[in-house]
């Protein structure tokens, strides 16, 4: 089996080059990398990528800027293998990533998503443990090792607090292509996709072995979207829609978790000081409304 790695690219050249080099440095050569350059203003990193002498690497520059969601949607469309990863252009694959992911897929042929163990790094590549990731660890639960989750149990867990790391996940490509990433969502399309798969009786395999380094820094979409309130408007709409879907499925615990969305509301309060410092009073109103459950 060949693991598809699709890398939407728009951002810092140094982070991007480190991300690509981490793919090239994999112990297992059974991978295929497609780089989707979303009209990055600096042409130099694209030229560097296009010149790489490796038949497993394909560099494509979009004709127009598709935006985050549009490029994710395109990433799903270009996957040709059974499983694919939509890797962040600032993240790092640790050396055993491809080998471990292919091993897990082979051992659990019925799963549709694989969430490996993840370490968190800052903009300079140093290991960090910010509050958001400590909270993720709590919501992920105390189970250890390798386990398969699905149904209402998994949906409820993710709705209480999205502990998954989207760029590290391997997805069943045919299912992701069939569902498609929502182009109207900027920061919650990962949770929407996971919930869509779960509602189709899909299963997630969770493994604790850390094989992926997720870069947490202030320029990320989720980090930028919080202080202006846009992230929370998106989350509120998603939770309302999912609560209705859970009701239809008879998933009472999942519906309750979606309507409560406690972790999202607490996150909003954490972003409130930044909105106040920026004197963005519209954002303050949105954040306070979301925190109070009145989005």
Alpha carbon distance 16, 228 (integer Å):
27
Distance of CA 125 to the CA centre of its chain: 19
Residue 130: what pLDDT?
Answer: 79
Residues 159 and 236 in one domain: no
Mean pLDDT by 10 residues, the chain (295 residues): 97 97 98 97 95 96 93 94 97 98 97 97 90 78 87 97 96 96 89 97 97 82 62 94 98 97 89 89 91 79
Residue 220: what pLDDT?
Answer: 53
Alpha carbon distance 133, 123 (integer Å):
15
Residue 211: what pLDDT?
Answer: 98
Alpha carbon distance 74, 177 (integer Å):
9
Domain that holds residue 117: 3-222
Residues 38 and 126 in one domain: yes
Domain end, chosen from 222, 252, 269, is at: 222
Our count of domains for the chain comes to 2
The model's pTM is 0.92
Residues 164 and 29 in one domain: yes
Alpha carbon distance 52, 74 (integer Å):
22
Domain end, chosen from 200, 222, 244, is at: 222
Alpha carbon distance 168, 276 (integer Å):
34
Residues 215 and 256 in one domain: no
């Amino acid at each position: 089996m060949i693991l598809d790695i699709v890398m939407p690219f728009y951002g810092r050249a140094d982070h991007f080059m480190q991300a690509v080099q981490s793919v090239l440095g994999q112990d297992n050569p059974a991978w295929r990398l497609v780089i989707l350059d979303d009209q990055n203003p600096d042409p130099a990193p694209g030229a560097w990528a296009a010149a790489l002498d490796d038949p497993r690497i394909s560099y494509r520059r979009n004709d127009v800027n598709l935006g985050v969601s549009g490029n994710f949607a395109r990433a799903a469309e270009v996957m040709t293998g059974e499983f694919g990863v939509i890797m962040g252009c600032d993240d790092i694959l640790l050396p055993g990533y491809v080998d471990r992911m292919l091993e897990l897929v082979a051992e659990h042929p019925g799963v549709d998503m694989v969430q490996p163990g993840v370490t968190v790094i800052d903009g300079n590549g140093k290991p960090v443990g910010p509050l958001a990731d400590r909270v993720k660890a709590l919501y992920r639960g105390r189970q250890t090792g390798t386990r398969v989750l699905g149904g209402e149990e998994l949906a409820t867990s993710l709705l209480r607090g999205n502990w998954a790391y989207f760029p590290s996940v391997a997805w069943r490509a045919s299912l992701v292509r069939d569902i498609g990433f929502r182009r109207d969502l900027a920061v919650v399309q990962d949770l929407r996709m996971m919930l869509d798969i779960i509602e189709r009786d899909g299963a997630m395999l969770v493994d604790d072995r850390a094989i992926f380094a997720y870069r947490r820094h202030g320029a990320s979409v989720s980090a930028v979207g919080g202080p202006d309130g846009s992230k929370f408007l998106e989350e509120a709409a998603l939770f309302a829609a999912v609560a209705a879907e859970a009701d239809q499925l008879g998933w009472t615990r999942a519906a309750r978790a979606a309507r409560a969305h406690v972790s999202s509301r607490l996150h909003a309060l954490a972003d409130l000081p930044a909105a106040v410092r920026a004197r963005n009073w519209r954002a303050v109103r949105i954040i306070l409304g979301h925190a109070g459950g009145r989005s």
